[in-house]
Structure 1
Amino acid sequence: MELCFATNNNHKLEEVSTSLGDAFLLKTLNDIGCTDELPETSGTIPGNSRQKAEYVWTNFGVSCFADDSGLEIDALQGEPGVDSAFYSGSRSFENNIKKVLTNLSGESNRKARFITVFTLLLHGVEHQFEGIVEGQILQEPRGIGGFGYDPIFLPDGHDRTFAEMSLDEKSKISHRSKALAKMVAYLKDQVKQ
């Protein structure tokens, strides 16, 4: 079965390709001739994921899936949420972390969660798969691995931040891997039918 992953991020593509196995021919946006900037204007994580997948299906007629992720912090009423990548007004991980820590200054409630939603459009029929990992926002960054908010996110039940874990350790418990596992299980079930 041919599927397009609405990304040109090689790391994401490799992760998904490994999980899917040989039953699927995975294509990128470049492979299907899509050089457009995909829309992300819905205001929600599930909505942005849906928008990107719908754009590919509508304009290229290819079964596809897209993802969107964000960090939600309770004391900040869910911010940065859908704006996680540009929270500080730029894509700078360092500036985004600084803004979160500044906004949480003096706040005792540090509860937060990472969320990923994959939207799959299989022959035009939509399915969504969500992965969530709960945790706490630390007072200061720890670790040098990962990306984004990983240095300040301590997942529940662990004593190391995502940035202090190896990629393999993180991927076993991450929000992305949880959502991806649900989607892969669904796709493999479809192939059997």
Structure 2
Amino acid sequence: MPVKEINFVTSNALKLKEVRAILGNNSFCNFKLLHYSLELPELQASPTEIAINKCMTAANVVQGPALIDDTMLTFNSLNGLPGPYIKAFIAQIGLEGLVRILTDFQDKSAQVSCTFGYTEGPNHKVHLFTGTINGKIVAPSPYLDTSQSSWGSIFQPDGYHINYAMMDQDEKNKISHRYKALMLLKEYFMKQANERLD
């Protein structure tokens, strides 16, 4: 059976590194993952609409199968904010500003979610696969380079006493929001491959 090529469209080198580390290599279930570096625009809309729009835009750019990754960090006390706008929040107020937002709230719980959007190409259906990890917001560690670790240095997953940025990368890749989403995507590709064999 021929290998089908899929373009993973992202400008984020860390996302690409994690995806490759979790999958083990660039090929799985008769699919080969190619990297296409591009900063995709994001709608000011619901998380589902944002992921679908990014995936459709990516498919139109590459004119073929496309895969995108959209990540959210949501605070329960803020009814889901900053959510898909986490990047803009960090750019405007920084990590310490994000932590200060919750100062007057007793509830510091949060979730981080990763949604992979996949489509076979322009004008095809977009399939979404979401993985979520629960945790809480903590003060960033003073000895971490927060410019590199991004929001990971203020998110502590449930069951751990350290934040995301302090975790061993291999350990994180076995429990992360991205891992959970990728396993759902992999399951979908396996099902597709098996159906082609029938």
TM-score scaled by structure 1?
0.83
Give the match's secondary structure for 1:113: strand
Give the match's secondary structure for 2:149: coil
Q: Does 1:21 align with 2:49?
A: no
**2:7 alignment counterpart:** 4
Quote the offset at 1:3 in angstroms.
0.7
Percent of aligned positions that are identical: 28
- Does structure 2 retain, via aligned residues, the 8 Å contact 1:42–1:51? no
Give the match's secondary structure for 2:97: helix
Structure holding more helix per residue: 2
**2:83 alignment counterpart:** 81
User: Match for 1:141: what amino acid?
Assistant: P
Q: Which of 107, 110, 113 is 1:109 aligned to?
A: 107
**2:140 alignment counterpart:** 141
- Does structure 1 retain, via aligned residues, the 8 Å contact 2:55–2:126? no
Task: Write the distance in 2 (CA, Å) between the matches of 1:153 and 1:86.
Answer: 17
**1:45 alignment counterpart:** 47
Quote the offset at 1:69 in angstroms.
0.6
Q: Which of 79, 89, 98 is 1:100 aligned to?
A: 98
Task: Write the distance in 2 (CA, Å) between the matches of 1:10 and 1:65.
Answer: 15
- Structure 1 pair 121–107 and aligned structure 2 pair: CA distance change class (3 A): same
Give the match's secondary structure for 2:130: strand
**1:132 alignment counterpart:** 132
- Does structure 2 retain, via aligned residues, the 8 Å contact 1:69–1:114? yes
- Does structure 1 retain, via aligned residues, the 8 Å contact 2:18–2:173? no
**1:164 alignment counterpart:** 166
Task: Write the distance in 1 (CA, Å) between the matches of 2:117 and 2:44.
Answer: 14
Task: Write the distance in 1 (CA, Å) between the matches of 2:144 and 2:90.
Answer: 20
Task: Write the distance in 1 (CA, Å) between the matches of 2:128 and 2:45.
Answer: 17
Give the match's secondary structure for 1:148: helix
- Does structure 1 retain, via aligned residues, the 8 Å contact 2:47–2:84? yes
- Structure 1 pair 80–28 and aligned structure 2 pair: CA distance change class (3 A): same
Q: Which of 139, 149, 152 is 1:150 aligned to?
A: 152
TM-score scaled by structure 2?
0.81
